[in-house]
Amino acid sequence: MTGAARKPSKRDQTVSDGLATAIHEHRLTPGMKLNEDEVGEIFGVSRTIVRSALQSLSHERLVVIEPNRGAFVAQPSIREAREVFEARALLEPRTAHSAAIRTTPADMDLLKRHIDEEHAAIDAGETGRALRLSGSFHIEIARIADQATIATFIGQLVARSSLVIAMYWRRRNALCESHAHHALLDALAAHEADRAEELMTSHLVDLVSLLELTEPPDGPTSLKEALRTE
Most confident of 4-13, 66-75, 142-151, 191-200: 191-200
Instruction: Give the pLDDT band (50/70/90) at residue 210.
Output: confident
Mean pLDDT, rounded, for 4-11? 58
Angle at 117 between CA 114 and CA 122, to 5 degrees: 125
> Residue ranges of the domains in the chain?
11-74, 78-209
Residue 50: name the closest of 64, 40, 60 by CA. Answer: 40
Name residues whose C-beta falls within 8 Å of residue 97's C-beta, 6 or more positions apart in sequence: 193, 194, 196, 197
pLDDT in tens, 29-58: 899 999 999 999 999 999 999 999 999 999
| 11-74: CATH class | mainly alpha
Distance CA 65, CA 144 (A): 34
Please report how the helices 47-59 and 36-43 are oriented relative to each other, as an axis angle in degrees rounded to 10: 110
SS (H, E, C) the chain: CCCCCCCCCHHHHHHHHHHHHHHHCCCCCCCCEECHHHHHHHHCCCHHHHHHHHHHHHHCCCEEEECCCEEEECCCCHHHHHHHHHHHHHHHHHHHHHHHHHCCHHHHHHHHHHHHHHHHHHHCCCHHHHHHHHHHHHHHHHHHCCCHHHHHHHHHHHHHHHHHHHHHECCCCCCCCHHHHHHHHHHHHCCCHHHHHHHHHHHHHHHHHCECCCCCCCCCCCHHHHHCCC
Is the pLDDT at 222 greater than 60, yes or no? no
Does the predicted TM-score (pTM) go above 0.85? no
Percent of the chain with pLDDT over 70: 85
The pLDDT value given to residue 2:
40
The pLDDT value given to residue 220:
53
Percent of the chain with pLDDT over 90: 58
Instruction: Give the pLDDT band (50/70/90) at residue 94.
Output: very high
Decide yes or no: CATH 1.20.120.530 for domain 78-209: yes
Instruction: Give the pLDDT band (50/70/90) at residue 66.
Output: very high
Is the pLDDT at 9 greater than 70, yes or no? no
